[in-house]
Structure 1
């Protein structure tokens, strides 16, 4: 889940804290004090960013592991968490991050390659057991149609239309708090699978895609919809890509959750040829990084990595 704090002021920080802590209570397990501590950590990190960053603030809650990771991106100066100490009793500043370092299971500050920093921390609650949605690729009436592809693959209009249609179709059949998870999983499986089939037809590829072919498939489909992806590295167990231009344009900065579409498409294509895949969104234009950096782990490397977004072969 992603949010852009706009404008980055105390009121919006307070509203986001309420939304985040309510989400934790709906889906989490633990003692009441655990949720109070989590809410205090969220409040202090958002308050610190509002006071010191002086610009846009992006917030991500990643609950792919048992405990949720909170990530706050801003354009302010980095700091050294090793130097955090309890302020003097008469000091009015400096208590927030020191308190977070005592309440959170982990606290790390990473300087961005461009400007600003990312603050990572793990909140002291665990997630309740919930249904897992990893749907198979639909075999009936896939979208977009293969006859819509041009010389360089599918165009942006076909891609976005298929996205909207699949979201609406899945939403009609879904209900309850897990509906959004179903929609993202099904859209990624269906649209990404059809784009893979178009690549196979164009290249006359049958059987398992090599890592190099998976990377070529990624570039083909992303360039066709207006992305600026390029390959940084390809190996037997991973593919690393960069991207200088988001297909959604500047709009993605106000809706960072759109990055999950890249994850779903990349992960599904890789998993169908390598059995299992993990997608790591290392850097994202959507949260202020100079470009996107995406790592796709394949096979055994994916099984050994507990983080990121996991995908399995459902064909």
Structure 2
């Protein structure tokens, strides 16, 4: 017969349990995303997470505009805001290419870590935050994620097309009217 052993608070406080606020939040977000994907499918989960990404993008834009004292970003300000925000949340974004027609960003570290592989639809957060900030700054953006860490690539590629006539896929974003 197996004997049960109860742990006391003092036993647990000094132990090597990996748990802090960031790990807890990662678990909550990725578990919700995974359950949503399992329940309604990857496409529907991606659509819902896209809406979350747009709302988050609006809040991030407000925060950065307020901090800068500007009413909107120019192109350089938009890129700087994206890179800074992604750095603050644990990503390692950098500019791969920048032309008049597009901006290509790379990312060497997913803010969700290995947990993103369980819920690749979380990449829609990145796509929609980038798309929202780029469209608000430049008038139009179409974001494509041809490579993601969540899908097994060593790095992410975020392609932000700024010319609506450029062929290709991706999620389209348009500037809201400025007040």
TM-score of the aligned structures, taking structure 2 as reference length: 0.69
Residues 253, 184 of structure 1: alpha-carbon distance in 2 compared, 3 angstrom cutoff: closer
Matched, 1:186 2:48: no
Whether the 8 Å CA contact 2:147–2:153 is kept in 1: the answer is yes
Of residues 170, 173, 177 in structure 2, which corresponds to 1:308? 170
2 CA distance for matches of 1:185 and 1:314? 17
Match of 1:236 in 2: 100
2:59 maps to 1:204: no
> Which of the two has higher C-alpha Rg?
1
Residues 49, 122 of structure 2: 8 Å contact kept: no
* Aligned residues between the structures: 144
Higher relative contact order (CA 8 A, sep 6+): 2
- Pick the aligned partner of 1:215 from 55, 60, 79: 79
Q: Is the 8 A contact 1:211 1:238 kept in 2?
A: no
User: Is the 1:244–1:290 contact (alpha carbons within 8 Å) kept by the matching residues of 2?
Assistant: yes
Post-superposition shift, 1:313?
2.2
- CA–CA separation in structure 2 for the residues paired with 1:182 and 1:250: 22
SS in 1 for 2:150: helix
CA displacement 1:17-43 (0-9 Å, x = unmatched) = xxxxxxxxxxxxxxxxxxxxxxxxxxx
Q: CA RMSD in A?
A: 2.8
- The alpha-carbon distance between structure 1 residues 236 and 205, as it changes in their structure 2 partners (threshold 3 A), is farther
Q: CA deviation at 1:290?
A: 1.3
Distance in 2, matches of 1:305 and 1:272, equals: 21
- Give 2:17's aligned residue: none
Residue 245 of structure 1: aligned partner: 109
Q: Secondary structure at the match of 1:253?
A: helix
Q: Mind listing any 5+ residue stretches in structure 2 that lack a counterpart? A: 1-20, 37-42
Aligned residue for 1:311, secondary structure, equals: strand
- The Cα of 1:302 is off from its aligned counterpart by 3.1
Partners of 2:168 and 2:147 in 1: how far apart?
A: 18
Call closer, same or farther: CA 1:181–1:232 in 2, change over 3 Å: closer
Cα distance in 1 for partners of 2:153, 2:144 equals 15
Q: C-alpha displacement at 1:233, in angstroms?
A: 2.3
Q: Report the alpha carbon displacement of residue 264 of structure 1 after superposing the two structures with TM.
A: 0.9
Provide the rounded CA distance (Å) in 2 between the counterparts of 1:286 and 1:277: 23
Aligned to 1:292: 156
